[in-house]
Structure 1
Amino acid sequence: MIRFILVSVAFILSAPLFSQTMPKFELTKNGFEPIVISVDSTSAPVIYKKVNNWVQTYYKNPREVLKGNIENEEIRLEAVILNAFKLKIAFSNFNYNLWYSLTIQIKDNKIRVSIIENKVTLTDGTRWAGTLGTFFDNDGNIKTKNIEQKEEVEKAINSILNSLSNYINNKNKVEW
């Protein structure tokens, strides 16, 4: 009985070590580090087709966002996240759009996703003088006043990553 309890406890404690967690983008002073997503037992051509299909379903105007396409190797997109974050200045709230480049590099069993901030604009199209890097101090620590904005941007960016990962790993498939 004691052996059974010990084995059960060891199994429960080790389970998180074996489960695969979805990597997430984290905003730093220098932007976002690339993320690698595993795609079990899937060749590069199959992944490439799935990524292309995801672009067609995820983006409203896929032809407009598609900027580079190397068959079975890489897809590059440029798009915008409307109202990605808001800043309170004086007594007013201002919403900002985040224009980004998304590069998806494809190999057998995995993809590498990179995202780069192109520009930030107000919702009226006026370009913001700052960058996402201005949320951080010189040491790379998030400024207290920008914690909420950092979280909003990460949530928006990671929703794109989650959608892509779920699509290529068939987690969105609905049986009907």
Structure 2
Amino acid sequence: MDAENVEVRKNYIVLNIANKTSKQLYDESIKFINKNYKNPDEVIKGKTEGEYLKFVTYAPHFINVKNGLAKVPFNVEYTTELSFKDGRVKYEIIDLRIFNDSNYTLNITGGGISFFIFNKKGELKKEETKIDIENYFNKNISILSDFLKGENSENW
């Protein structure tokens, strides 16, 4: 994704989608969910036509976290909130839960025997995990952005 089409602001990003109204961006986002989710009506948790859309994503085996010599698969469930203005979409993750099949969670910060990315002092302890999470979300944001721009051509 090129930097001119994305602005990072605090804990959200703004996708710049030229020449589309807020209503068009909302409608395209609904199409995106309908196309990419098995049960779109179940994942949509809130919506205001042309202004706002909230949906939940579950991804099994989201990442593998190194634990000693083994890699432990983790799932993710997160809530995405999209807000629409002419030519722009605010993309924000408002809830994030990363967990494994044994119900251990992966926390951003922590200590002791739990899984965590940064220790309590803010030192990065699982760089590969941090990168994997960033890559997952960057890829998904790019896919959504391309779809909203109409760059999701299908040759069939």
- Shorter-chain TM-score category? 0.7 to 0.9
Q: Which of 108, 129, 145 pairs up with 1:165?
A: 145
Note the alpha carbon deviations across 1:92-130, whole angstroms, 9 max, x for none: 3210011111000011110000013432221x3x32244
2:124 counterpart residue number: 142
Q: Which of 74, 77, 85 pairs up with 1:107?
A: 85
1:159 partner SS: helix
Structure 1 residues 137, 175: CA separation in 2 closer, same or farther (over 3 Å shift)?
same
2:150 partner SS: coil
Asked if the contact 2:99–2:106 (Cα under 8 Å) also holds between the matched residues in 1, the reply is: no
Shift of 1:22: 4.7
Structure 1 residues 102, 139: CA separation in 2 closer, same or farther (over 3 Å shift)?
same
2:46 counterpart residue number: 68
Q: Which has the larger radius of gyration?
A: 1
Asked if the contact 1:24–1:35 (Cα under 8 Å) also holds between the matched residues in 2, the reply is: yes
Q: How far apart are the structure 1 equivalents of 2:69 and 2:155?
A: 50
Which of the pair is proportionally richer in helix?
Answer: 1
Note the alpha carbon deviations across 1:42-74, whole angstroms, 9 max, x for none: 111111111110111122221221111111111
Which residues of 2 match residues 3-82 of structure 1 at below 5 A? 20-23=3-6, 33-82=11-60
Which segments of 5 or more consecutive residues in structure 1 lack a partner in the other structure? 1-18, 26-31
Using CA pairs under 8 Å that are at least 6 residues apart, name the structure with larger relative contact order, 1 or 2: 1
Q: How far apart are the structure 2 equivalents of 1:22 and 1:108?
A: 14
Q: TM-score, length-normalised on structure 1?
A: 0.74
Aligned residue-pair number: 148
Q: How far apart are the structure 2 equivalents of 1:63 and 1:169?
A: 24
RMSD: 2.3
Q: TM-score, length-normalised on structure 2?
A: 0.82
Identity %: 22
2:119 partner SS: coil
Which of the pair is proportionally richer in strand?
Answer: 2
Shift of 1:20: 4.8
Which segments of 5 or more consecutive residues in structure 2 lack a partner in the other structure? 110-115
Amino acid at match of 1:155: N
Asked if the contact 1:65–1:79 (Cα under 8 Å) also holds between the matched residues in 2, the reply is: yes
1:151 counterpart residue number: 131
